[in-house]
Chains A and B, each alone.
Chain A
């Protein structure tokens, strides 16, 4: 029973949080658009939380994959008259295919090199979109993308649609981390040799999840372009990718809800902070403080364990544990 509770905690928190904020939006309607922004960032950040927090594989290309999805859908809907209902498929498949192809050579790189390579990938995509001439709308971008199917332009319905997607990702993510495949991904982060010794095909698993992450970013891009109606090269770019990574690290890369918390923090801070030029200073300071105090972000495993202990029935389980032997853990590090 307790296992099931763990599986559904994160989705329940998302549903409750969403309903509360949307109800507050009855008093303050701007919250509905704020919720859209948070949901958009959360959708791009969640799969990064999976591949980085669980798999130890960093990526600074999520924003660019979202742009790729947005552009794919914008071009298909405005130029070829295809319905957004259908264009969502290529908007997800194209980033996924690109990610899968490039994953094999690059995902064996160490963390810093991987960050730089994925960042340059984003730059290549951005330059391609800027220099794409009429086809991509050059520096101006593309406008006139039709509104989202069914929900149209109603901000409440748009937010509900987007957060349904977020909820589905959270449900899938929660189940994945508590499966053999999730443990395999965790093993890859801890030690690739260990993962191989546990029969894990490391390059294939990483490439697949990298592609899935790109596909979900592409879905976010699709939401973006059809909710807002236009897309430009600097709408979703390398800076977005960096902000997404910030959200994941700040919110807690090991926790399912970490990226969502990070996205909410980032969006609200952006709304309430005066003067865009001071934002960098503020976020930089916050990041340094969090990493010093809790290297795994706000929702770190330690913080979650402390919370669970707070809610757990203390009398239920006497905690008899073998005495921790300090030098044993030292020896295996």
Chain B
């Protein structure tokens, strides 16, 4: 049971962003995808989520080809994601922002949504209670009705994770979740990711910060200039000369 991309190639004009890349994540596994800026991490992430279409290669979910499915279909199939830059209505409340996360699992008709005294009203009560529980669990805000715009960047990133988890995904794809957040929030984030994996979710982490990923993941994949240069146990990948060279420069390895 896995979400797997294989033979992925993408070119933007003459620039080869990804060249025959394969990456996979199984249920219950935390996979860290690392690489320096411009390595193609986000492009690969976009291929997995359905935002970008690769020119070659395929993406499979539990053995089924989902390469041609759009983002909204993949989300409904259980591939949840977060955004590198939090995307939400900053004027809306924290609870409402989390409640949006339930949408992929809901089958609500436009008609039912408009009607008073319809089942949609009861659903609304339930979703609100569940969203408030998530707000409390992630310690997002003391007042769940406060505007999301008042949250710190760290809390906005946690909110993105809470919202993605609200859609009950089987695979959780996180785009740079730890960038720019403080140690307390980072620990809470790490705990959350471990807990999610323990519950059987497959987690793919795209991160710039190698230390954070190495601590957390079961397996790491290092991407440099659009190619996989190392893959395996975190300790091996972190110690791999190609990875060190990519991060610190070739001279360092030679010396």
Contact = CB atoms under 8 A, between A and B. Distances in A.
B142 interface: yes
Contact of A332 (B72, B112, B125, B153): B153
Contacts of A193: 51, 71, 83, 87
B232 interface: no
A147 interface: no
A186 interface: yes
Interface residues of B, number: 55
A134 interface: no
A179 B123 CA distance: 9
Contacts of A191: 87
B152 A328 contact: yes
Interface string B65-79: 000001110011000
A186 B92 contact: yes
Contact of A198 (B70, B91, B104, B156): B104
A321 B136 CA distance: 13
B57 interface: no
B72 A183 contact: no
A327 B116 CA distance: 41
Mostly helix, strand, loop or mixed at chain B's interface? Answer: helix
A196 interface: yes
B153 A200 contact: no
B127 to A, nearest CB: 7
B227 interface: no
Contact of B87 (A175, A182, A194): A194
A194 B152 contact: no
Interface string B135-163: 00000011100100111111110000000
Contacts of B100: 183-184, 187, 198
A102 interface: no
Interface of A: 3, 7, 171-173, 175-176, 178-184, 186-187, 189-191, 193-202, 205, 208-209, 212, 301, 317, 319-322, 324-325, 327-329, 331-332
13 contacts: A7-B116, A176-B113, A176-B114, A181-B110, A181-B113, A187-B100, A196-B70, A196-B71, A197-B87, A198-B72, A205-B110, A328-B154, A331-B85
4 interchain residue pairs of minimum CB distance: A199-B104, A179-B113, A181-B113, A172-B114
